[in-house]
Chains A and B, each alone.
Chain A
């Protein structure tokens, strides 16, 4: 079996991203199968992340795999001083694939280099979170019918927001136009703007957030402005309410516009928007299940053809 770890979406070509989206579509049609029966999936969460872990474990369970692992790093030998390498080598003896969340950046790349089984990165510090990116792309594709030539508006914390940075890396294959809406303190870092210029990706920066600014959006990607990111709390108090999405701001929105959010939300999207047809964040989270089923199968060397001809579907 070919060993195919997933460390970052940036390793994937346009064709590979489209291939994985087609796989996710198959799983959305039939999520319950015995495709991974007899396999063991390990979920190693060196940093707690209930949402991501439940999504991966559901993906594995609905495909018939058995799941082992830990959700709380306090119960592992890491606290006794065991190296990551030793933990990975030990678990590789038991599992066919390792889904790993780690608080250190680059942990997934390192694990993929030493492990004899595939590693799926479920987030490594502030670095990469490719399964989130994959479900974002799948959500964009599902709601817009395409990934090409879209106007994507990113709002909130664009400085530290790992999901918005991964979005730039993944969407550059698809000729997007980005709009960056953020306070100066949390503006898109220069390195990512340089990335856009190097790849001829158009972008516009805004500090205002209102109905007119977002009227040209196909996708409105909201993120949380977190208090702990600010060195100057006066500045936080000044800007915190400027990036809240209110129902009346959708008055000029395009009919196809969808609101995405990686969740958890605090107050950045008004609750009255939940029932609006533009709201898509809960469906987006459900798409994570299908996207992760696709990522697990791809890492285990199961092809799209095998999934299409799968005889193990449970009605």
Chain B
């Protein structure tokens, strides 16, 4: 069978590749793609040598900030991002979970100072397998799959 690109190319914008298919909708929600006015192409359950099944998102005329990209790393630690300008990949980067997260994740402890004072949250990645976050202020530990994200105001 002939291998071919199953999702159309875009002129300018961002391509997010290697999304594990079970995380696709988390990424869609995180980036508020449902509110996007430009063209968004989503490929779901495509064949992938690395992941078995992967998903891919192409967003025309949209370039993300570091703050938005850090959020992605919290849900999917190993995404590949391509920045496209005039049909060419001008930058390729892998999103990885930073050691510290500022203002990205809510603390789940209602008695934490961050939930009671107008201030940014601050978490440190915790554990040998880096699968949890520890609140810098109240020391609450939250597993990555239980986190609640701070909404980014556009």
Contact = CB atoms under 8 A, between A and B. Distances in A.
Interface of A: 83-85, 102-107, 109-110, 124-127, 191
B137 A105 contact: yes
Nearest to B107: A106
Contacts, number: 47
Contact of B138 (A83, A106, A191): A106
Contacts of A126: 111
Interface string B94-127: 0000000000000001011110111100000000
A313 to B, nearest CB: 40
12 contacts: A85-B117, A85-B119, A104-B117, A105-B113, A105-B139, A105-B140, A106-B112, A106-B114, A106-B135, A109-B136, A110-B117, A125-B111
A125 B138 contact: yes
A222 B109 CA distance: 28
Nearest to A105: B138
A102 B112 CA distance: 11
Given A105-B113, A107-B113, A127 B139 contact: yes
A96 B136 CA distance: 26
Interface of B is mostly: loop
B115 to A, nearest CB: 8
B141 interface: yes
Contacts of B140: 105
Contact of B111 (A105, A109, A110, A191): A105
Given A127-B138, A191-B141, A110 B113 contact: yes
Nearest to A127: B138
B117 A84 contact: yes
B106 to A, nearest CB: 13
Given A104-B116, A109-B136, 15 more contacts: A83-B117, A85-B119, A102-B113, A104-B111, A104-B112, A105-B109, A105-B137, A106-B113, A107-B137, A109-B113, A110-B117, A124-B113, A125-B111, A127-B139, A191-B141
Interface string B53-86: 0000000000000000000000000000000000
A124 B140 CA distance: 13
A110 B122 CA distance: 10
